[in-house]
Amino acid sequence: MAYKIVASQCTVCGACEFECPNVAISLKRDMYVIDAKKCTECKDQFDKPQCAAVCPVPDTCIPLAA
């Protein structure tokens, strides 16, 4: 499973980009996106996905719908 960024709510601050331990987040056309192939949801790395823990806007880094 992987996380995604809700573009309409993202402030493009970039905190998620440098907290991501998997280098899965990058700026694409002025918007941060999560590469689902690299995202591990921080499983076995941290208690909580780092992007969601640092994001200043609630419910903006969320699980990709199954």
Partner 1 sequence: MAPDVWEKVKDHPCYSEDAHHYFARMHVAVAPACNIQCHYCNRKYDCANESRPGVVSEKLTPKQALRKVITVANEVPQLSVLGIAGPGDACYDWRRTRDTFAGVSAQIPDIKLCLSTNGLALPDHIDEIADMNIDHVTITINMVDPAIGTAIYPWIFYNHRRWTGLDASKLLHERQMQGLEMLAARNILVKVNSVMIPGINDEHLVEVNKVVKAKGAFLHNVMPLISDPAHGTHYGLTGQRGPRAAELQALQDRLSDGAKLMRHCRQCRADAVGLLGEDRGQEFSLDRIEAAPAYDPAKRAAYRTIIAQERSEHMASTVRAGDALAGAAAPDILVAVASKGGGRINQHFGHAMEFLVFQAGAGGIRFIGHRKVEQYCRGGWGDGAALPAVLTALDGVAAVLCAKIGECPKQSLADAGIVACDNFAYEWIEAGVAGWYAATYQSDHKKIA
Q: Which is nearer to partner 1, 28 or 56 (CB)?
A: 56
> How long is the chain?
66
Q: Which is nearer to partner 1, 13 or 64 (CB)?
A: 13
Binding footprint of partner 1 on the chain (CB under 8 A): 9, 11-15, 18-19, 46-48, 50, 53-54, 56-57
Q: Which is nearer to partner 1, 14 or 63 (CB)?
A: 14
